[in-house]
Amino acid sequence: KNQVEQSPQSLIILEGKNCTLQCNYTVSPFSNLRWYKQDTGRGPVSLTIMTFSENTKSNGRYTATLDADTKQSSLHITASQLSDSASYICVVSPSYNNNDMRFGAGTRLTVKP
């Protein structure tokens, strides 16, 4: 069973609208949670990294939240742009070691004009 579950699998929104992507995890213990953006045909690019002591982290129009008690994270995208069309991947680590990361399958976001 995957320890990191993302929802929805895919999402279509209109340009300018906001959206929220969800990440639930069962990874334990917990060290840090990352969100990546992956454009079609490209490698993942880091958006945010949060440790257990942080409950929100922003990167421009992207805001990630973390509730370590309920083991949930969300990525909120404000005023979406066509360039936001991509897959968004949630990654959870039980330790600080970079070889110990659990990847979600991603949410595919399509922003339409």
Partner 1 sequence: NAGVTQTPKFQVLKTGQSMTLQCAQDMNHEYMSWYRQDPGMGLRLIHYSVGAGITDQGEVPNGYNVSRSTTEDFPLRLLSAAPSQTSVYFCASSRGYSGNTIYFGEGSWLTVV
Site residues (vs partner 1, CB under 8 A): 2, 4, 31-32, 34, 41-46, 49, 51, 89, 91, 95-99, 101-106
Enter the tokens of residue 80: 């979406």
Q: Shortest distance, CB of residue 65 to partner 1, whole angstroms? A: 19
Q: Shortest distance, CB of residue 113 to partner 1, whole angstroms? A: 27
Q: Which residues, in sequence order, are bridge partners of residue 75? A: 21, 64
Alpha-carbon distances, residue 74 vs 41, 77, 99, 104, 113 (angstroms): 24, 10, 23, 13, 24
Nearer to partner 1, 76 or 108 (CB): 108
Q: Shortest distance, CB of residue 97 to partner 1, whole angstroms? A: 6
